[in-house]
């Protein structure tokens, strides 16, 4: 290209052409991402879908205390739920607004005094909070270290709105202090 005008005029034309070319290159286009449906072959931790956590014996400071019941499902093994007056009818319950199918769970031992650990328990389920079905029954379970997560699986094809961890005995007996760092509930692929 020959510039017959002054150099300034020639530079101005070149800058306008470069600007026009760049504007054409910077045209924004919308990007669309397809959300894939959940993989039916993946297991799901359904603990956080619960709309309620109920216990029949609470920490003396209440559910939101440093060692209150809310700590048992907070996803942190460095916290724990602690009660001072365990009884063999003790339970921790998760409530759902929509029935869920659970067939596995984990328990994580807390940080001190292994005599406070659960030893005998059942997982029971219900849709009306009145009639309960036993899904899993464990006896003589012992955690061999602190903050240890142990996984338990069972067979269940049904969906329920209420799931209870009903603890009947501790490693240290049937009375005294109880502790548990975490309880997670899981749905495995069919």
pLDDT in tens, 136-186: 999 999 999 999 999 999 999 999 999 999 999 999 988 889 999 999 999
CA–CA distances in Å: residue 177 to residues 13, 113, 114, 165? 85, 9, 10, 17
Percent of the chain, pLDDT > 90?
75
CA distance 100 to 98: 6
pLDDT of residue 76: 97
Domain assignment present for 39: no
H-only helix segments in 2-50 = 7-25
Residue ranges, the chain, pLDDT below 50: 1, 3, 27-29, 31-33
- What is the reported pTM? 0.78
Domain assignment present for 27: no
Residue 77: give its domain's CATH number: 2.60.120.260
Number of H helices and E strands in the chain, helices first, is 1, 11
Domain assignment present for 18: no
Domain assignment present for 2: no
pLDDT of residue 16: 66
CA–CA distances in Å: residue 164 to residues 26, 36, 99, 121, 133? 58, 33, 14, 10, 10
Q: Which of 189, 187, 190, 160 is nearest to 104 (CA)?
A: 187
Q: Number of folded domains in the chain?
A: 1
Quick one: residue 174, left, alpha or beta (phi over 0 = left, psi -120 to 50 = alpha)?
alpha
Cα 127 to the center of its chain, rounded Å: 21
Domain assignment present for 64: yes
Domain assignment present for 50: yes
Output the DSSP codes for 35-84.
Answer: PPPPPTTS-EE-GGG-SEEEESS--TT-TTSTTSGGGGGSS-TTS-EEEE
Domain assignment present for 21: no
Domain assignment present for 118: yes
Q: Which of 52, 59, 56 is nearest to 88 (CA)?
A: 56
Q: Which domain holds residue 135?
A: 44-187
């Amino acid at each position: 290209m020959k510039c017959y005008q002054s150099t300034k005029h020639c530079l101005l034309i070149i800058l306008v052409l470069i600007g026009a070319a760049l504007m054409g290159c910077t045209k924004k286009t919308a990007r669309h991402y397809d959300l894939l449906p959940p993989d039916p072959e993946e297991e799901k931790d359904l603990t956080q879908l619960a709309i309620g956590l109920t216990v029949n014996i609470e920490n003396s400071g209440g559910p939101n205390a440093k060692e209150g019941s809310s700590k048992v499902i907070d996803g942190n093994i460095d916290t724990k739920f602690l009660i001072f007056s365990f009884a063999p009818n003790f339970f921790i319950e998760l409530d759902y607004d929509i029935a869920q199918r659970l067939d596995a769970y984990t328990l994580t031992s807390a940080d001190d005094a292994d005599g406070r650990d659960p030893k005998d328990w059942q997982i029971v389920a219900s849709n009306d909070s009145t009639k309960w079905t036993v899904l899993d029954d464990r006896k003589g379970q012992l955690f061999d270290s602190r903050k240890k997560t142990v996984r338990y699986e069972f067979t269940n094809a049904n969906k329920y709105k209420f799931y209870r961890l009903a603890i009947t005995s501790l490693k240290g007996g049937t009375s005294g202090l109880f502790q548990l760092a975490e309880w997670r509930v899981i749905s495995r692929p069919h």
